[in-house]
A and B are shown apart, each in its own frame.
Chain A
Amino acid sequence: MKIGIPRSLLYYYYYPLWKNFFEELGVDVVTSPPTTKKILDLGVRNMVSDICVPIKIFMGHFYYLMEKELDYIYVPRMVSIEKRKFFCPKFMGLPDLVRHTIENPKKVLRPSIVAKDDNIALLENFLPLAEPLGKTKGEIKKALKKAETAWLHFRQLSKEGYFHQDAMNIALGKVQKENLPIYQGGEITIGLIGYVYNIYDDYISMNIMEKLQQLNIKVITFDMLPENEIERPIKQMDKALFWTFSNKLLGAGKHLFRKNQVDGIIHVTAFGCGPDSMIGKMFELESQDTQIPFMTLRIDEHTGENHLQTRVEAFTDMIKRKKV
């Protein structure tokens, strides 16, 4: 049996879990290749024009996989991984969007994911897959155990300071940890705040992580920070946001602003991102209070690489000069 996983959205957070789960069950996992212009165009053509670019990219990967010989495409309905908090409405409605825009909706595996924390490896979430995959409860349980271990390892590596791609490669066993040093460089340190599917999709972020390294800058992203430090500033608010990952970004940003660990913060956001329109305002206020420079990088399918390069260079140059 072959299952396709689109390389987009929470692929960048949960892939080690998903891959190990399916492979342990003897299912072949096929991922779409890294985003290309062709994939993006496929998504743009097949989606309402006002929707955010991450969703368009998802659709591109989805349609790419639709053309392959696969038994299923995996599109989980991400509902909630925190009490009274949810995913952005677009994540919650994604399986509906998919099944009402394609001809053969039976091909889509769409379990609902609900958990108390980031660790979604719960039997309730994956048991609905037993029937379509032809597996027993016991087999699902066993596969989940392995999936959970791999995912926790991946998260641990991020928190140790490994950049996303490196952590992913080690967790998937492609590279030995001993052979991969943690990147230490850095005249200055920048907090790079953005959703995993925006900053780690090299096509849409135009390799921003690499660009910052080339400029000899140390980068801190939200997934490198321990959970409790992210949660602390959120708990101090009268009312938190409703979206789990938006709270993570907001908490990480607030933490970095206040702890004086960074010389500047860049918020990477997709054009038309609703939750980010709220977060951005709060970062502006933090920046005014703390006097730490802050910049918003807005990306979408029209963003040019030169524009991005220029802005990142100008921002970091300004900080470097200030520091001298």
Chain B
Amino acid sequence: MKISFPYMGVPFVYKKVLELLGHDVIMPPRPSQRTIDLGVKYSPEFACFPLKVIMGSYIEAIKMGADTIVTSGGHGPCRAGFYGENHQQTLKQLGYDVDFIVFDGWRDNIKRNIQNVRKIKGKNSIFKVYKIVRLVYQMLQVVDSLEMRIQTLRAYEKAKGTCNKIWDAIQRKLDEVETKEQLEEFKKYFYDQLDRVELQEVAPQEKIRIGIVGEIYVVMEPSINMQIEKVLGDMGVEVRRSQYLSQWVEHNMIPFKKTHEDEILKKGEPWIEISIGGHAKQTMGHIVDYKQQGFDGIIHLMPFACLPELISQGIMPKISEELDIPVLTIPLDEQTGLANNLTRIEAFVDLLKNKKNNQHKTAVIA
């Protein structure tokens, strides 16, 4: 069984879980133009962008030898919950013989989920599986905290590109970590590296912080969101994003725990009353949360015609006005013009800088 999986965020951790369980893993390549072209060719025209990119990823992984794909199902009502079925049917029609292991929400398909766990678990004892999952969860927490530091430091580094190099090294080195001790060492080493990054002095009133919100795949996968975090960092902007993998695991896989996401959902409620699928309600909640943290602006990323995010897009003018926080919505798909979006982002950052500057001036005069 040669296993592959969708590419999103820090994919090395999915690889890690599967490898530690003793499986042969085919690491899908980072989504490229070729991936997108393949995905677009074999997906329904009006399917959402993540479905198309993941379709392309699967085909590339299969060509590299993968015969099994592990993915999550979800319980809707956004389209992501049906990706598994759509991908399976299309790949079958194309003549690829692959097995799909789709993890749905626990209660949606208990029987299939138990079968899936058996398949993935292999000969490992439940205790060993628990230990592996725990270790990888700890890895995720370390990587996420390192990434958040990078998202801040990148804005002020003296030599542009230093943080990007460290981030690449983090992802490479993560591949070699297999024990708790190694993880500690890894953590120490990279915290130290980040401490050494030389920074420019920037006055507090000139610091700009932007929160990135929206649909999980386009928010988390840099190769399809124009590497927006790096772009903003290079413009001298601090960034946070609404999704980190460790938080996702915490919210979706650890039962009964009161999580950060529960708070976010609560903050979203005055705007979207019930969960309408995808991350629309979280999107609203995160905007409220970022405003409370004193952020200067919001960039809202969504796949073109994303069902739930269209609702949040519709509410954006009101929430932006009421909370007094500028919002820039960017729909992404295979037609995305990079230059066009970069111009919009630049203009948006300028706007935030001017706004902040004016406020500061007024404050000084007063």
A and B pair up: yes
Known A100-B315, A272-B46: A93·B73 in contact at CB below 8 Å: no
| Chain A, residue nearest B281 (CB) | A93
Judge whether B304 is part of the interface by a CB distance below 8 angstroms: yes
Q: Say which residue of A50, A242, A277 sits within 8 Å of B45 (CB atoms).
A: A277
A90 x B271 contact (CB < 8 A): no
Contact of A274 among B75, B276, B305, B317 (CB under 8 A): B305
> Residue A89 contacts which of B78, B89, B331 (CB distance < 8 angstroms)?
B78
Residue of B with least CB distance to A271: B46
Selected from A86, A90, A237, the residue in CB contact (under 8 A) with B311 is A90
B335 in the interface (beta carbon within 8 A): no
Stretch from B57-65, B80-88, B247-255 contacting the other chain:
B80-88
User: Are B310 and A48 neighbours in the complex by a CB distance under 8 Å?
Assistant: yes
Which B residues are CB-close (under 8 A) to A182?
Answer: none
- B278 close to A89 (CB less than 8 A): yes
Partner of A96, one of B93, B109, B272: B272
B79 at the interface (CB under 8 A from A): yes
Q: Check if A89 sits within 8 Å of B77, measured CB to CB.
A: yes
Within B286-309, the residues touching A (CB, 8 Å) are 304-308
In the complex formed, the residue of A with least CB distance to B272 is: A96
Q: Knowing A84-B75, A274-B46 touch, does A95 contact B273 (C-beta < 8 A)?
A: yes
In the assembled complex, B319 has its CB within 8 A of some CB on chain A: yes
CA distance A51 to B304 in the complex (A): 10
Cβ of B47 within 8 Å of any chain A Cβ, yes or no, is yes
Q: Report chain A residues within 8 Å CB of B79.
A: 274-275, 277-278
B44 touches A239 (CB 8 A): no
Q: How many interface residues does B have (CB within 8 Å)?
A: 44
Q: How would you classify the secondary structure of chain A's contact residues: helix, strand, loop or mixed?
A: mixed
Complex formed: what's the CA distance from A47 to B317 in Å?
A: 11
Q: Tell me how far the C-beta of B344 lies from the nearest C-beta in chain A, rounded to whole angstroms.
A: 15
Task: Verify if A324 is at the interface (C-beta below 8 Å from B).
Answer: no
* Beta-carbon contacts under 8 Å, A230-280 to B: 237-239, 241-243, 271-278, 280
A77 to B276, CA, bound (A): 11
Asked whether A100 lies within 8 Å of B318 as measured between CB atoms, the reply is yes
| Those of B239-296 within 8 Å (CB) of chain A | 271-274, 276-278, 280
Give the residues in chain B near A282, CB-CB below 8 Å. Answer: 89
Nearest CB on A from B35, distance (A): 20
Chain A residues lying within 8 Å of B310, measured Cβ to Cβ, are 48, 50-51, 55, 89-90
- Chain A residues with Cβ below 8 Å from B305 are 50, 52, 272, 274
Over the window 194-218 of chain B, the binary record of Cβ atoms lying under 8 Å from chain A Cβ atoms (1 yes, 0 no) is 0000000000000000000000000
Q: How far is the CA of A269 from the CA of B232 in the complex (A)?
A: 39
Closest residue of chain A to B107, judged by CB?
A: A84
User: Chain A contacts of B161 at CB under 8 A?
Assistant: none
Whether B136 is near chain A, meaning CB under 8 Å from some CB there, is: no
Distance in angstroms between the alpha carbons of A90 and B77 in the assembled complex: 10
Could you show 26 A-B contacts with beta carbons less than 8 Å apart? A50-B313, A51-B310, A52-B305, A79-B274, A87-B77, A89-B276, A89-B278, A90-B310, A90-B311, A92-B77, A93-B311, A94-B311, A96-B272, A96-B315, A97-B314, A100-B271, A238-B85, A239-B104, A241-B82, A242-B75, A242-B78, A273-B46, A274-B78, A274-B79, A278-B82, A285-B93
A residues engaging B (CB < 8 A)?
47-48, 50-52, 55, 77, 79, 84-90, 92-97, 100-101, 112, 237-239, 241-243, 271-278, 280-282, 285
